[in-house]
Amino acid sequence: MNHDLEPRTNGGAELGEPLSVYEAAELIGCSAWTVRQKHLREGLPCFRSGPSGRLTFYRNQVVAWILEKQKQQKGGNHK
């Protein structure tokens, strides 16, 4: 049996629930287009299932990214 393919019990807790691009956009408060065209370029973490595959976002990573962006804005480190 290949243990690499078995789900890890703590991985889900670290990443949070998987989100579609639409769910990630709703969490951020923007459109799916903005997520794809702007926020991915700004470093929003995601998993792409292949070169032109579906994007999967993880709730805890998206929240951490938002918090970091807010911290940067408060510090005056705008790009």
| pLDDT interval class at 56 (50, 70, 90) | very high
Domains of the chain: 17-74 (1.10.1660.10)
pTM above 0.85, yes or no: no
Complete DSSP assignment for 2-70:
-GGGSPPTTHHHHH-SEE-HHHHHHHHTS-HHHIIIIITTTT---EESSTT--EEEEHHHHHHHHHHHH
- Contacts of 60 by beta carbon, 8 Å cutoff, 6+ apart: 14, 15, 16
User: Per-residue pLDDT tens for 13-33?
Assistant: 799 999 999 999 999 999 999
pLDDT of 8 over the 80 cut:
no
